[in-house]
Amino acid sequence: MNVLFIAVDDMNNDLGCYGHPLVKSPNIDRLAAQGVRFDRAYCQFPLCSPSRSSLMTGLRPDTTRVFDLQYRFRQGLPEVVTLSQCFSQAGYYAARVGKIYHYGNPGDIGTSGLDDPQSWQEFYNPAGRDKTALEPEIINYTPKRGLGSSMSFLADKTGKDEDHTDGKVATQAIALLEKHKGEPFFLAVGFYKPHCPYIAPQKYFDLYPLEKITLPAIASDFEKGALPPALASTKPWPYMGVTPVQAREGKQAYYAAISFVDAQIGRVLDALDRLGLRENTTVVFWSDHGYHLGDHGLWAKQSCYEESARVPLIIAPPAAKSASKVSARTVELIDLFPTLTDLAGIPAPKGLQGASLRPLLDDPAARWERPAFTQVQRGDFPGHSIRTERWRYTEWARGEKGAELYDHTTDPQELKNLATSPEHAATVAELKALLKTVHPTPVEGGKAEPGAGKKR
């Protein structure tokens, strides 16, 4: 069984296959129709390097000790075997095109960033006109922030898809599929969009008239200044200090970037079909974390809220029994490592902290009682969150700076905090105990957040 491992950067669940009424993502939707779409999939840390390091090692951030954008997991785990390395040791050709481990985006485009050389037999770092030619033209509404954490965008009026970095990623991935179609492969294809700056050809902007772009309401108690720690430490607030009109322009550009990268994913999927590889290839599509687009007045990532922690995740094995099915079970990105080794029938390293999703691929509604855990670092204190199918419970500084409880059956936008409600005390106690099973004590590792706001 081959593996085509498709990653996107900073993409939330605003996709057609997830029910979004405006976003056009026909190729990702096509993949969802071939496999299982997970509706409740969550990252372990909504920041690029911690999330990607966790996924590729199958270990939680407290084990990898990657909490920022500088610390490398092999500093503390020099002998760890990564997902692609595991396949390589089993006789697979393992290669990377684009961003799988952390890169400063866009700063490190064209380089290997924080890549792990032991994970690959071959790698490619494309750089297109979005990086080499267009950056001086970018509209940046947050000029005091680096481009990698900004509200910035550009509609390219003259360039072709294939001239952009993600277009080059697709082209190189197709070339590798053609070259290695006769041997087992683990091909990781890492796209850079929709990460800011949101750059795409003009035709993708044309899909989203600005008058159709709206911003979500902000809870009235937040507007009055009753901000939980996740928001209180986010300055300027709301929308990183830009106006609502500028935020709507940013959201339009973000959606344009989604449709652009969807088209590049479509090119790779077309090549897989053309080469007759689909019948023995499992395709995985994932994002490293979610992304706020004005929810709670927030922009980007690094919160424990649903929009930041939740990710799109699609697994499409060959001849899937559950094609075009949806699973509402609560799963995590660290589950991908044991899932893929299970499907391929190769031995996995001991100590993986996720669980194989194979039962859910066979029956998406199968019994599954594992919650999902997400953590962040806000300045000098952590936030730890647990998500079950009904509840989200979050503690700040182990509860010393407050807690949040949201009931997703009645409050999917997480606007009404029930943590101090006496009638929910038993639920809080239960979730607090579950949280401690995964995060029992503080863990030292990479420094808290020295890279926040820099090379994202």
Q: Residue 447: what pLDDT?
A: 46
Q: Give yes or no: residues 187 and 266 share one domain.
A: yes
Q: Give yes or no: residues 231 and 337 share one domain.
A: yes
Count of structural domains within the chain? 2
Q: Give yes or no: residues 287 and 423 share one domain.
A: no
Read off the pLDDT of residues 250-291 as tens digits, 9 standing for 90 and up. Answer: 999 999 999 999 999 999 999 999 999 999 999 999 999 999
Q: Give yes or no: residues 62 and 206 share one domain.
A: yes
Q: Give yes or no: residues 356 and 424 share one domain.
A: no
Q: 344, 363, 382 — which closes off a domain? A: 363
Q: Is 304 a catalytic residue?
A: no
- Residue range of the domain that includes 72: 2-363
How would you class 113 by CB atoms within 10 Å of its CB: exposed for 0-12, middle for 13-18, buried for 19 or more? buried
Read off the pLDDT of residues 404-430 as tens digits, 9 standing for 90 and up. Answer: 999 999 999 998 999 999 999 999 999
Read off the pLDDT of residues 34-82 as tens digits, 9 standing for 90 and up. Answer: 999 999 999 999 999 999 999 999 999 999 999 999 999 999 999 999 9
Q: Give yes or no: residues 207 and 72 share one domain.
A: yes
Q: Give yes or no: residues 147 and 224 share one domain.
A: yes
- 235 vs 73, residue with greater confidence: 73
Check pLDDT > 70 for residue 224. Answer: no
Assess contact for 131 and 98: CB atoms under 8 A. no
For residues 297-309, give the mean pLDDT.
94
Check pLDDT > 80 for residue 452. Answer: no
C-alpha distances in Å from residue 424, one per residue of 373, 395, 399, 404, 418:
20, 15, 16, 11, 7
Check pLDDT > 50 for residue 301. Answer: yes
Check pLDDT > 60 for residue 20. Answer: yes
Determine, yes or no, domain membership for 280.
yes
Q: Give yes or no: residues 386 and 354 share one domain.
A: no
Determine, yes or no, domain membership for 203.
yes
Q: Residue 441: what pLDDT?
A: 73
For residues 348-362, give the mean pLDDT.
97
- Residues present in the chain in total: 456
Determine, yes or no, domain membership for 345.
yes
**Exactly one of 17, 43, 48, 196 is catalytic; which is it?**
48
Q: Give yes or no: residues 256 and 356 share one domain.
A: yes
Q: Is 296 a catalytic residue?
A: no
For the chain, give the percent of residues with pLDDT over 90.
Answer: 86
Check pLDDT > 90 for residue 222. Answer: no
**Exactly one of 17, 102, 289, 296 is catalytic; which is it?**
102
CA dihedral defined by 125, 79, 288, 304, rounded to 10 degrees? -150
Q: Is the torsion defined by CA of 445, 9, 182, 176 positive or negative? A: negative
The Cα–Cα gap between 421 and 137 comes to 51
Give me 243's structure tokens: 């106006």
Determine, yes or no, domain membership for 142.
yes
Determine, yes or no, domain membership for 397.
yes
List all residues 6 or more positions away from 390 whose beta carbon is below 8 Å from its beta carbon: 407, 408, 409
pLDDT band at 320 (very low <50, low <70, confident <90, very high): low
For residues 95-100, give the mean pLDDT.
98
Check pLDDT > 80 for residue 324. Answer: no
For the chain, give the percent of residues with pLDDT over 70.
Answer: 93
Does the predicted TM-score (pTM) go above 0.85? yes
Strand 122-124 versus strand 93-98 pairing type: parallel
Determine, yes or no, domain membership for 452.
no
Determine, yes or no, domain membership for 368.
no
Q: Residue 456: what pLDDT?
A: 39
Q: Residue 361: what pLDDT?
A: 95
Q: Residue 451: what pLDDT?
A: 33
Check pLDDT > 70 for residue 442. Answer: no
Read off the pLDDT of residues 159-218 as tens digits, 9 standing for 90 and up. Answer: 999 999 999 999 999 999 999 999 999 999 999 999 999 999 999 999 999 999 999 988
Determine, yes or no, domain membership for 43.
yes
Assign residue 408 the CATH number of its domain: 3.30.1120
Strand 381-387 versus strand 372-378 pairing type: antiparallel
Assign residue 53 the CATH number of its domain: 3.40.720.10
The Cα–Cα gap between 1 and 338 comes to 15
pLDDT band at 229 (very low <50, low <70, confident <90, very high): low
Q: Give yes or no: residues 246 and 127 share one domain.
A: yes
Q: Residue 168: what pLDDT?
A: 98
Q: Give yes or no: residues 87 and 22 share one domain.
A: yes
For residues 119-142, give the mean pLDDT.
98
Q: Give yes or no: residues 202 and 103 share one domain.
A: yes
